[in-house]
Structure 1
Amino acid sequence: MSMRPDAPPGVRTSQQVQATLTGAVGHYENFPVASWLCPPALRPAVVAIYHFARTADDLADEGDAPAAWRLDQLSAMRAELRAAAAGTTAGGRWPAVFNPLATTITTHRLPVDLLDDLLCAFEQDVRHTEAQHRYASQAELLDYCRLSANPVGRLLLHLYGIDDEVSLRQSDAVCSALQLINFWQDISRDHARERHYLPGDVLARHGVRLEDFSPLVADEAVRQRCAAAVAELCTDARSLMNTGAPLATRVPGRAGWELRLVVQGGLRILDHCASLDFRTWLARPRLRATDLPLMLWRAGRMPSSPLV
């Protein structure tokens, strides 16, 4: 399909994004999306939510478009989201995204405000990147996770018919932990894109600056302090994940097993961070096929109380 005339160079159109998503996902993903473990009846809904989030994320992040264009596209997505919720999806820029999403919203009575929260998170990313915003604290970063990650877990629990407060809190813990793990895994990638998530309070505690996480900084003492900061952040992410992990043992059937693997995938990434001496700004840890047997074994042994 041809490039839309209003799409800047380096940014894929919604049609191109959708073409990628409906085949092999063109992004590295740590964790399964609508995998074979997902209940088949819910798979179309999960895919529709993922396509929405992935398309919005691409508009916020891919290519060299200016911030004003990205924000305009995200604003247009919000308008189409409202139209989908109202049952009027004719036309629009992303029919392959919003037509299935409209069906999912109607069929499953999705809470649309959670989808809107995701758009708010992507808009925040665009504005923060343009302003070179630096997160002052872990508390500020967790507030971002409330918009960028937690809605996904709550949407999935909604599909599974789970809405008790304990489960929602545990889902938030798992999703925020996954977001944080992705940040500490992706330090090198994010810094190259001028996105900075390392919180200032932790850096100050270890006597390092954001600029010290450059591969060009060769001072070993500085690198050790940087690694200690990443180690602290990874420890906190592991603790948060363990707080929410018991949810996976209570979600029934295949969905519960998928959640177990999501939890174990996040914890395994943290293992890989540790194996790199937490120098993840120099080498990016990732899951490999060889990790799956251990993840399956650990998934089968998960207790109903918080992990250690």
Structure 2
Amino acid sequence: MSDTSVAQHALLGAPTEYLTPLERPTLQEAQAWCKRLTTSHYENFHVVTWFLPRAVRQHFESLYAYCRVADDLGDEVESPTIALRLLDEWGSMLDECYDTPQRSMHPVFVALHETVKACGLPRQLFHDLLHAFRMDQVKTVYNTWDELLEYSRYSANPVGRLVLWICGYKDEPRALLSDKVCTALQLANFWQDVVEDAERGRRYIPAESMERFGVEDGQLAGRVFTPGFCAMMEDLVVRTRAMLREGRPVSAEVDHELAVTLDLFGKGGEAILDGIAAEHFDVLRGRPVVSKTKKLWLLAGALAGKMRVRKAR
């Protein structure tokens, strides 16, 4: 099979919208494809991109597209075997984007190469994300808090580090603060999605916490809320909130425009944890919802920050 036909068929078995096109898109076409993906999947991300520095907004859309497709290759296919094959193909296409970019056919990698070239992004951070998506195929339960932190090191922290790199911040002290925020956001999402994850055969609540508070696996699937479960969730929320606040000073270590976006992410994590607490830690009734009023308040605060940045110029 020729190199061209290999590229064209590399993602067979993936969601239809992610199949590699028969012809290489232009850079403009590839960037437009990534932009459409940010508006068609998660409205919240599209809203957040408006607060990002305009000069690097396109780079964030390319980064998001890479993450979004990789995530869907892991979660939206028929079996773990197919998912692992597709993730390996995506990793090979990533290497091609770095080593022989003229051969890239998929719009994500045509656009991403421009971002990699402009910002000098480390290849390993992208591969770390793929490692997390592979972990999702083979590891469905977690025993310790440290195991969750290790998972987040691959699933969440690379995104924060890439955001900093895109904006020109490559030092380790800022990256470590970002890691705190990103890990806390990952954990907050786990705590609000306990029921959904249980239905998919996954459990991110560490076994050591369940044992400490006398909670059993059957309670998750059966949605059996007890005082022990309440105390366990409260403990997890407290620990997660402390981690989030430890990392929040990163906003003071970057330019004001990026700080607006980082603050919005941090406050969004606080809002999730507040929502869990408002439900008296009963996440078994369903996913706690951040109210529309709260969302508008967060966006209004970010908008005010954006306006202050513009006036200061």
TM-score tier (shorter): 0.7 to 0.9
Match of 1:272 among 272, 275, 285: 275
**TM-score, normalising length: structure 1:** 0.84
Give the aligned partner of residue 198 of structure 2. 191
- TM value normalised by structure 2: 0.83
Q: 1:35 aligns with which of 13, 27, 49?
A: 49
Match of 1:304 in 2: none
CA distances 1:67-92 after superposition (whole Å, capped 9, x unpaired): 11110000000000001011425255
RMSD, aligned CA: 2.6
Q: Structure 1 55/121 Cα, relative in aligned 2: closer, same or farther at 3 Å?
A: same
Change in 2 beyond 3 A, CA 1:297/1:21: closer
Residues 199 and 242 of structure 1, relative CA distance in 2, 3 Å threshold: same
Q: Judging changes above 3 Å, is the alpha-carbon distance between structure 1 residues 32 and 174 closer, same or farther for their aligned structure 2 residues? A: farther
Match of 1:246 among 226, 230, 249: 249
Identity percentage of aligned residues: 32
- 1:75 pairs with one of 73, 85, 88: 88
Q: Distance in 1 between matches of 2:159 and 2:47?
A: 11
The answer on whether the counterparts of 2:39 and 2:46 sit within 8 Å (CA) in structure 1 is no
- How many Å separate the matches in 2 of 1:57 and 1:255? 25
More helix by share: 2
Residues 151-166 of structure 1 aligned to structure 2 (within 5 Å): 151-166=158-173
Give the equivalent residue in structure 1 for 2:311.
none
Query: Match for 1:14 among 18, 21, 24?
Result: 18
**Aligned twin of 2:287:** 284
Q: How does 1:168-187 map to 2 (within 5 A)?
A: 168-187=175-194
CA contact (8 A) 1:34 1:43 kept: no
The change in CA–CA distance for 1:225 and 1:12 in structure 2 (over 3 A counts) is: farther
Kindly state the Cα deviation for residue 58 of structure 1 after the two structures are TM-superposed.
0.5
| Counterpart secondary structure, 1:194 | coil
> Offset of 1:254 from its aligned partner?
1.5
Q: Give how far 1:178 is off.
A: 0.5
Rounded to whole Å, the distance in 1 between the matches of 2:171 and 2:39 is 35
Cα distance in structure 2, aligned partners of 1:256 and 1:206:
38
Matching residue of 1:226: 229
Question: In structure 2, what is the Cα distance between the partners aligned to 1:122 and 1:20?
Answer: 23
Question: Residue in 1 aligned with 2:261?
Answer: 258
Work out the CA distance in 1 between the residues paired with 2:233 and 2:196.
15
In the alignment, structure 2 segments of 5+ residues that lack a partner are 1-8, 21-32, 306-313
Q: In structure 2, do the counterparts of structure 1 residues 33 and 141 end up closer, same or farther at CA, with 3 Å as the change threshold?
A: farther
Partner of residue 238, structure 2: 235
Corresponding residue SS for 1:110: coil
User: Quick one: distance in 1 between partners of 2:48 and 2:274?
Assistant: 25
* 1:60 and 2:71 are equivalent in the alignment: no
Alignment deviations for residues 232-279 of structure 1 (CA, whole Å, 9 cap, x no partner): 111111000000001112221221101111100100110000011111
Q: 1:123 aligned to 110, 134, 137, which one?
A: 134
For 2:254 and 2:19, how far apart are their aligned partners in 1? 35
In structure 2, what residue type is equivalent to 1:62? E
Aligned to 1:26: 41
